[in-house]
Amino acid sequence: MTIIEEVSVPSPRDGDGGPLLEVRDLHVEFHTREGVVKAVNGVNYSVAAGETLAVLGESGSGKSVTAQAIMGILDMPPAKIPQGEIRFRGEDMLRMSGEDRRKIRGRRIAMIFQDALSSLNPVLSVGYQLGEMFRVHHGMSKKDAKAKAIELMDRVKIPAAAARVNDYPHQFSGGMRQRIMIAMALALEPELIIADEPTTALDVTVQAQVMDLLADLQREYNMGLILITHDLGVVADVADKIAVMYAGRIVETAPVHELYKRPAHPYTRGLLDSIPRLDQKGQELYAIKGLPPNLLRIPTGCAFNPRCPKAQDICRTDIPPLLPVTEQDGAELPGRASACHFWKETLHG
Amino acid sequence: MGRYVARRLLQMIPVFLGTTLLIFLMVYALPGDPVRGLFGDKGGSPQVIAQLRHQYGLDQPIWMQYWHYMKNMILHADFGTQIASGRPVTDVLGDAFPVTLRLAALAFIIEMVFGIALGIVAGLRAGRLTDNAILLFTLLLISVPVFVLGYILKVIFAFDLNWLPPNVNDSTNVNELLMPAIVLATASLAYVTRLTRTSIAENLRADYIRTAIAKGLPRRRVVGVHLMRNSLIPVVTYLGTDIGALMGGAVVTEGLFNIQGIGGTIAQSIVRREGTTLVGLVTILVLVYLLANLLVDLLYAVLDPRIRYA
Amino acid sequence: MPDVTKTVPEAAAEDAAVAAAGGTLPEPKPEKTRSLWGDAWQDLRRSWIFIVSAGLILLLLTITFFPGWFTGADPTHGDLAKHFLQKPKMGKFFDPDWLGYDQQGRSVYARVIYGARASIAVGFGTTMAVTLVGGLVGMIAGYFGGLVDSILSRLTDVFFGIPFLLGTMVVLNSFQDRTTWVVIGALSFFGWTQIARVMRGAVITTKQADYVHAAQALGASTPRILFRHILPNTLAPVIVVATISLGVYISAEATLSYLGLGLNGVSWGNDISDGGNQIRVAQWIMLYPSIMLIITVLAFIMLGEAVRNALDPKMR
């Protein structure tokens, strides 16, 4: 196997003192009865303040596990982080004490989960759950915290916030519940928000509203945002750059529009080709053949090789490193990288 | 809420009538006779027996007896007369009920405190050595029959160590009541532990716990507020229904420690075939059980905002 | 609603299993189709609780059916002159003297061996009876609903309302000759309610499944729907409750014997009760049947626990 230092995709806006968050060569594995599940196998990415990184992948690609590792909410055991760094403002959070990490959670890095109904405590009022952020992190009184909760609910455009602050999560609609999740994440104006499939559980019309709200608030507070999704449609409007994950690795990164125009990895191409389009009405929809890999037995070489239409012998033996890609004439393509032995053929072919 | 309570109370009526009828039928339809039992092996003169049978209404058909009994009970709160002593059953009840109540209350506290504590410890360490040890301990508690456990404790703490008295003379003395209360609480304690453990272990993996951790809450707050509030709901409901079971389950324990409560009186009544006393006492137990169930349902709505009774 | 009980590794392992079934991988080991029961069996084989309890139960069944293999002594033969309250002779394994003699000069060891039969017979007999009766009542109430359900549910409430031990005591007190069948009958008379409730709940849940609606739409007969489509999916909770209650019935039989209302004949409950009176002079009369009783009840409750863990993935 070739040993090449993989690139961490630099952020164009990294100016003062580097990126907000930088994940370096992160590995996560789960020790289960069936064996060791290698969920994340050397992920590198970074996010700057005010920037949105979309992490794209099928379920089991390791995108959520990476996010949970950043948040520090993995159950360990069974999870284990054998190597890697997660630098927040330059400091490696994996080397911090539990108490120091707890103080970052919620206050400086917050997370929005997919299913707001199950992610909110069913027996505590939303006002209590929102106010708890202020009470725990700022030592605010119960009364002040409730006033803050109402303010937050107003901010995420929940109608009649003052009247509904004592209601319970099940009394809200799906979209309103997700707004409450967002309000909770925003409560302490964190520097980074990780949104794990924030709109997947919602109706299509509500999805757009919630996504817009999130994007607006992000701009307002100049927060970094990591948006985890499997939905290419959601990504296009809000993300600055995209990282595509497969079998616990990043296989391609690119600024969002370039990725859509010219993918540099066969997997990304397959994903794009499987989006239904109006002009293809009546034709059979493309689908990537085969199934996502068994994480207990990841294929040797490139993990995508059994499903890849371009696979050659080298793909079955050597793992392709994530390397910058260039134009045919050698001109740089800033922010672009691919982990494919045949990226040239894919990008230019 | 009011309508729900009314409906539940209405539903209780057939169950209450059915239960009393069932116990009435069992006592009177099965062979044996309380009046004959009064005279022992020698037997009384046929005239005296016939007269007594008439006096207690035992010569009437069984449905007439049931009708009169229920009529008196509901209209006059008259539960009949204990044949052996000639006292009204309500008097017997008045003596026995507070004793059993004290015993059940002490047992209830023991089962609640130790059951929940052990359950929390096991649930937070689900799958580890502590959890397995507590599991084995609770299974053992469930497996030891009450009377065996009573004997064992008596031999150790009363006879060998002389720490506690072997029998209860004064039911207001907590020291005397402690051993029988432990014996009575054991099986329920094990169930409370199992239930708490399961509930904690299950909720520990819930999404909202992950959210609570992601909010940066200290662990004691995650466990103490978010986990407990949810996990203890089923435990509280179980504890509520168990009040009735504790009072009814005291038959063996009261016999073992010579306690003059409802259980002991019931056991005597069964052996002496005292129908009226037995029916009266069991009726009270059934009432306690039914009301406890209703209270638990209402409590459930208070604890879990998702439950609404219309 | 999404499955909130899954943790990440479980989900990952699940994905992995799905992926493996596809057969597109370098060395796809064809995994067997895994059913609830297949999964449960895989789980059970690895559970120490199951192995210990199953071993104990096998031993107990052997003792029950072939007591002669374990002792040549007659449990009812008493020799007052020679053996009255003779102490156990610890070294003499499996000898009639091994566990001492009772106040009638009968070998405690022989009585412990022959006493197994009463407990096992009552335990299995009662469990089978309550599972049949309770299962049927619960199934009818759950499937037909409406008035039938109301009547059967209230009937269940009536029997459930009477404390279990009290009810059986009243019934057994009327019988002079308490054979195994009488005791099984009395315990079953009040014991069926629990299974009925569990069964009713399981049937109501299963009834709403799409495949049941499909069978109904296709015009399948009611018995066919009940026994082919609904019953198999309600068995898991019923089996768990039945296994655990088997231990509970054995314990109840011994308690009734202690109260003087149990089986006539050789039984652990009777011996424990007799031994209780001699507890200050001859503890061994009570000790050994107690140990056997506790081990037996424990074995069945452990088995039920293991089966529950295996059948309910949420418990893992």
Position B115 scores a pLDDT of 93
A28: in domain:
no
CB pair distance less than 8 Å for C2 and A115: yes
Residues 6+ apart with CB under 8 A from A225: A47, A51, A52, A53, A192, A193, A194, A195, A214, A218
- pLDDT over 60 (residue C24): no
Residues 6+ apart with CB under 8 A from A347: A262, A263, A264, A325, A338
Which residue, chain included where needed, has tokens 């539903």? B11
From the CA of B243, how many Å to the nearest CA of chain A? 25
Give pLDDT tens digits for C137-147: 999 998 888 89
What is the percent of chain B where pLDDT is above 70? 91
A103 contacts chain B (CB < 8 A):
yes
Tell me: do A265 and A202 sit in the same domain. no
Position C131 scores a pLDDT of 94
Tell me: do A158 and A206 sit in the same domain. yes
A307 to chain C: closest CA residue: C24
Partnered with residue A45 across adjacent β-strands are A23
Apex C218 CA angle, C213 and C221, nearest 5: 85
Element (H, E) at A132: helix A126-138
Residue that wins the pLDDT comparison between C3 and B162: B162
Tell me: do A113 and A216 sit in the same domain. yes
First to last CA, chain B: 6
Distance CA B44, CA B56 (A): 16
- pLDDT over 90 (residue B302): no
Position B36 scores a pLDDT of 60
A247: in domain:
no
Tokens of B307: 């439950």
Mean pLDDT taken over chain A: 83
First to last CA, chain C: 21
* Alpha-carbon B278 to chain mean position: 16
Q: pTM for the whole thing?
A: 0.79
Give pLDDT tens digits for B44-80: 677 777 777 777 666 777 777 788 777 877 777 777 7
Tokens of B149: 């456990």
C15 contacts chain A (CB < 8 A):
yes
- pLDDT over 60 (residue C315): no
Give pLDDT tens digits for A74-126: 887 788 888 888 888 888 888 888 888 888 888 899 998 888 888 898 888 89
Position B40 scores a pLDDT of 56
Position C11 scores a pLDDT of 38
Position B310 scores a pLDDT of 55
For residue C177, the number of C-alpha atoms closer than 13 Å in the C-beta half-sphere is: 1
B218 vs A contacts (CB less than 8 Å)? 102, 136
Tell me: do A230 and A313 sit in the same domain. no
A227: in domain:
yes
Q: Which domain holds residue A124?
A: 3-19+47-69+97-239
Which residue, chain included where needed, has tokens 């299995």? C124
Distance CA B218, CA B168 (A): 48
What radius of gyration do chain C's Cα atoms show?
A: 24
A38: in domain:
no
Cα–Cα distances (Å) from A197 to A56, A178, A238, A346, in that order, read: 10, 11, 14, 29
What is the percent of chain B where pLDDT is above 90? 10
Kindly state the average pLDDT of the residues B258-270. 83
Distance CA C73, CA C86 (A): 15
Element (H, E) at A241: strand A241-246
Tell me: do A234 and A256 sit in the same domain. no
Tell me: do A232 and A272 sit in the same domain. no
What is the percent of chain C where pLDDT is above 70? 86
Position A7 scores a pLDDT of 52
Return the sign of the alpha-carbon dihedral for residues B183, B188, B192, B195.
positive
Kindly state the average pLDDT of the residues C93-116. 80
- pLDDT over 50 (residue B91): yes
Tell me: do A212 and A125 sit in the same domain. yes
CATH of the domain at A151: 3.40.50.300
Which residue, chain included where needed, has tokens 């279990």? C164
Predicted confidence band at B193 (pLDDT cuts at 50, 70, 90)?
A: very high
A317: in domain:
yes
C176-181 long-range Cβ contacts below 8 angstroms, 24+ apart: C177/C264, C178/C261, C178/C262, C178/C263, C178/C264, C179/C263, C179/C264, C180/C118, C180/C121, C180/C122, C180/C125, C180/C263, C181/C125
Highest mean pLDDT among A62-66, A333-337, B286-290, C90-94: A62-66
Tell me: do A105 and A159 sit in the same domain. yes
Contact predicate B186/B144, CB 8 Å? yes
For the ranges B27-31, B129-133, C216-220, C273-277, the lowest mean pLDDT is seen at B27-31
Kindly state the average pLDDT of the residues A42-66. 86
Position C313 scores a pLDDT of 55
Give pLDDT tens digits for C55-73: 999 999 998 888 888 877 7
Tell me: do A212 and A266 sit in the same domain. no
Using DSSP, how many helices (H) and how many strands (E) does chain A show?
13, 13
Tell me: do A316 and A219 sit in the same domain. no
A206: in domain:
yes
Work out how many domains chain A is built from and give that number.
2
C306 contacts chain B (CB < 8 A):
no
| Boundary residue ending a domain (A239, A260, A288) | A239
Cis check: omega of the bond before A276, within 30 degrees of 0: no
Tell me: do A189 and A332 sit in the same domain. no
Distance CA B107, CA B185 (A): 5
Report which of A108, A84, A110 is spatially closest to residue A27, judged by C-alpha positions.
A84
For the ranges A53-67, B25-39, B172-186, C216-230, the lowest mean pLDDT is seen at B25-39
Q: What secondary structure letter does DSSP report for B44? A: -
Position B119 scores a pLDDT of 92
A39: in domain:
no
A270 vs C contacts (CB less than 8 Å)? none
Report which of C247, C251, C231, C250 is spatially closest to residue C304, judged by C-alpha positions.
C247
Apex B135 CA angle, B133 and B136, nearest 5: 65
**ipTM surpassing 0.85:** no
Q: Of the candidates A118, A294, A300, which has its C-beta nearest C19's C-beta?
A: A294
Predicted confidence band at C302 (pLDDT cuts at 50, 70, 90)?
A: confident
CB pair distance less than 8 Å for A79 and C15: no
- Backbone φ/ψ region at A301: left (φ over 0), alpha (ψ -120 to 50), beta: left
C165 to chain B: closest CA residue: B249
Predicted confidence band at A344 (pLDDT cuts at 50, 70, 90)?
A: confident
Tell me: do A229 and A263 sit in the same domain. no
From the CA of C198, how many Å to the nearest CA of chain A? 27
A140: in domain:
yes
Mean pLDDT taken over chain C: 79
Position C225 scores a pLDDT of 83
CB pair distance less than 8 Å for A123 and B218: no
Single-letter amino acid code for the residue at B204: L
